[in-house]
Every structure is written in C-alpha cells, then in structure tokens.
C-alpha cells in the first residue's frame, strides 16, 4: 500500500498530539467550572457574572460535564497514539518479539496490539518487520550492516518517545500553554477591573483582588515564557529534521555548523532526536562521525563540504570535516580531524 496515501491517517505523533490537545482542553473546561463555582461560593464573581445559586450551579455543572466528555473523547486517541509510537520502536529491536510481551508493554490486549501493528504495516510503517499471528511473534531481521550496538533498548526508546521531540507535539503543547497563560492573565484583568472600577482594594474584598492579580503574575507569565521556549525548541528540532531528510550521510561537524552549535552538542541532540523517534531512520556512525539516513534521501556531497586552508601554500581546498585532504596545489597533507571542526 502506498504510504503517501495512508500514513497521514496513521501518523502516531499526530494522533497522540490531537488526543492530548482534546484531553487538555477537557481538563481546562473542568477547571473553569470549578473556578466559576468557587467564585460564587467565595463571592468573587462580579455582579454581571453572578446569576444566583441555581444558575451558577447549572453553568458549573454544564462546564464540568463538557470537560469530562472532552477528556474521554481525547483519552482514547491519546492512548492509541502512545501505543502506535511504541510499536514504531520495535523496528529498532532485532530478532523476534513475543506479541504478549508487546501488548503488556503497550498496556493493551494482544488482539488489539496485533491489529494496530498490522494497520501500521499496511500504512507503510515497520517495513522490515514480519508479523506472525499464529506464532504470536513480530520479527525484525538483524542488520549486519549497522550492527546491534547501534540499537537502543526498546524500553529506553519508548520512554524517550513518550517525552515527545516531535515539533508538531511541542508546538501544540506551546499553543495550549499560551492559551492557559492568557486565561490566567484574564483573571489578572478581572482583578485590575475590580480594583479600579469596583474599588475592591478598599473594601472587604482586598485578598480576593490580590488573588486575582497574583494568578496572572505567578502562573500566567511563566506559562507564556515557557510556551515561547517550546516554540523555539520545536523550530530547533525541525531544522535538524530538515537537514537529515534530504541526505544519505552527513558529518556531525557539518550538522553543527549548519545548526550553529559545537559538534558535541550536535552529536548529543541528534542522539536525542533519534532515540525520541523523530529521526526514526537515522543512526550515528561512530567510526565515521556521520549521521546516516536509512530512508530515501539523496546525498548532496556539497552540502557538508567546507573550506580548509593549506598551511604550506595557503591554497583553499573543499572537504568534509574529518576527511583526509591533500592540497590541490602543493600536494601537502592538510590536518582536518575533529579538533579542526
């Protein structure tokens, strides 16, 4: 089956991200209902929001019921997306895996795990895996080219995938935190209105006004700052993905140059993105200091070449970092090891 037609419907990260957003909105709506009722009980609500006990109770009940509905609506795709993300890590585990064990790890039943793995395979994922329902196994051939030492453990991968490095997930989380921060700032706005227009600060509602003002300062501003950090992080990770999707191999030193970070930092972040599931078809060739893409990317040698200068004659030569370089003019060897990245 053509992956281009089916994969979008089974994108695990997108499914989990959508479910998480719906679930988080449900939690926010429940909190809004609880705060609305608490505002009535403690007499925090302005007159235009106070419709009496029964009206307030009815509105709070509707909000809580809607929030519970949203949490249930988002809970299933959120859990399904997490299971699918876990199944994708099975491709990096050589040898047979028992379906009972897979179902136990995914916290689901074996029939459901088998069905979902089959759906992923039909959508073009897990191309190297073989599903055998009769023997209750999923087999991934051992790759002698890459070696087992390149494969992280399944448990480590699942934990890393659970803490998503997918830019879409991170941006979604940032948008949700922005919304929550703006809501908190809205409470601060109510506090300012109460202090200026209703003169609560001079009356017996001093502490209620202070609480409303504090919500925005203590919760709203940190949420907005952290959401901005998440947006920058998502952009940073997306740049790594954009670099790797169009090359077969690229030197880690060149990745660092493109990302404007030192090679050690580039190495660390590449490993994080690989283990987190964003770069599923990429591994680090330790001996060559290169990131290797096992997907369908096409190598562009000029992308990771840089200019090195001959110390004898001063001629400029093009080479990849770490590559042995012989000067095109005088024939002298030019140092080009990791210490010269």
pLDDT bin (cut points 50, 70, 90) of residue 66 is: very high
What's the pLDDT score for residue 287?
76
Whether 154 shows a pLDDT value over 50: the answer reads: no
Give dist(CA 284, CA 288) in Å, integer: 9
User: Per the confidence metrics, is the pTM higher than 0.85?
Assistant: no
Burial 225-254 (b: 16+ CB within 10 A, else e): eebeebbebbeebbebeebbeebbebbbbb
Query: CB-side exposure of 50: number of CA atoms within 13 Å?
Result: 10
pLDDT of residue 203: 67
Task: Please give the pLDDT value at position 225.
Answer: 93
């Amino acid at each position: 089956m053509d992956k281009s037609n089916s994969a979008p419907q089974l994108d695990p990260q997108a499914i989990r991200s959508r479910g998480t957003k719906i679930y988080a909105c449900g939690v926010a709506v429940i909190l809004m209902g609880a705060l609305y009722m608490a505002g009535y009980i403690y007499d925090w609500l302005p007159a235009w929001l106070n419709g009496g006990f029964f009206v307030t109770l009815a509105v709070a009940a509707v909000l809580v019921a809607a929030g519970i509905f949203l949490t249930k609506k988002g809970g299933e795709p959120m859990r399904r997306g997490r299971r699918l993300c876990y199944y994708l890590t099975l491709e990096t585990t050589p040898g047979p895996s028992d379906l009972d064990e897979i179902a136990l790890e995914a916290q689901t039943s074996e029939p459901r795990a088998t069905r979902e793995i089959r759906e992923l395979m039909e959508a073009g994922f897990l191309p190297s895996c073989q599903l055998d329902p009769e023997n209750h196994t999923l087999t991934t051939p051992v790759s002698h080219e890459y070696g087992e030492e390149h494969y992280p453990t399944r448990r480590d991968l699942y934990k890393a995938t659970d803490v998503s490095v997918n830019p879409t997930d991170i941006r979604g989380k940032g948008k949700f935190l922005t919304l929550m921060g703006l809501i908190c700032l809205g409470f601060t706005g109510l506090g300012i209105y109460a202090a200026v227009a209703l003169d609560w600060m001079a009356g017996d509602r001093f502490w209620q006004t202070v609480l409303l003002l504090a919500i925005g300062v203590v919760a709203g501003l940190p949420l907005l700052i952290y959401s901005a950090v998440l947006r920058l992080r998502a952009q940073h990770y997306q740049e790594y993905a954009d670099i790797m999707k169009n090359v077969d191999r690229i030197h880690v030193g060149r990745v660092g140059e493109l990302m404007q970070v030192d090679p050690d930092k580039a190495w660390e972040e590449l490993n994080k993105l690989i283990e987190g599931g964003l770069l599923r078809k990429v591994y680090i060739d330790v001996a060559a200091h290169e990131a290797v893409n096992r997907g369908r990317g096409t190598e562009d040698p000029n992308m990771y070449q840089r200019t090195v200068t001959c110390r004898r004659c001063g001629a400029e030569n093009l080479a990849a970092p770490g590559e042995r370089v012989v000067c095109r003019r005088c024939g002298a060897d030019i140092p080009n090891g990791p210490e010269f990245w």
